[in-house]
Amino acid sequence: TTSTVYFRQQSGGSIFAIDGRDGSETEIEGSSEYARFVGLAIHRRYGRIFWSDGRSVESANLSDGSDVNVVIGALARVVWIGSNFGQT
């Protein structure tokens, strides 16, 4: 499976998309105008979309946006140190 992750590198900056197939990064034109968007990811296997506005992480059905759930009610800044366990 592949994923596309959307993120903002800094507050008030542009939104970028990373394609999980090849790691290519694309800046979304005009995205610096969007308010309070921190990150968004698509989980294709389960058909869910996840997003954050900096206060919580929510998810919904990918096809129609229904079944909205709060996944995490508080956010923490995490720094990974060590191995990437997703690679062999």
pLDDT, tens digit (0-9, with 9 covering 90-100), for 26-74: 887 777 766 566 667 788 788 888 877 777 788 888 877 788 888 876 5
Task: Give the pLDDT confidence score for residue 72 in this predicted structure.
Answer: 73
Please indicate, yes or no, if residue 66 is contained in any of the structural domains: yes
Tell me what pLDDT residue 87 has. 53
Q: How many domains does the chain have?
A: 1
- Identify the domain containing residue 27 by its residue range: 4-72
Distance CA 46, CA 81 (A): 29
- pLDDT tops 70 at residue 82: no
Q: Is the pLDDT of residue 20 over 70?
A: yes
Rounded distance, CA 20 to CA 5, Å?
8
| Domain membership flag for residue 18 | yes
Number of H helices, E strands in the chain: 0, 7
Q: Are 13 and 32 in contact (CB under 8 A)?
A: yes
Nearest Cα neighbor of 19 from 29, 32, 7 is 7
Task: Name the pTM for this structure.
Answer: 0.45
Residue 66 DSSP symbol: -
Instruction: With respect to residue 14, please indicate whether it lies within any of the assigned structural domains.
Output: yes
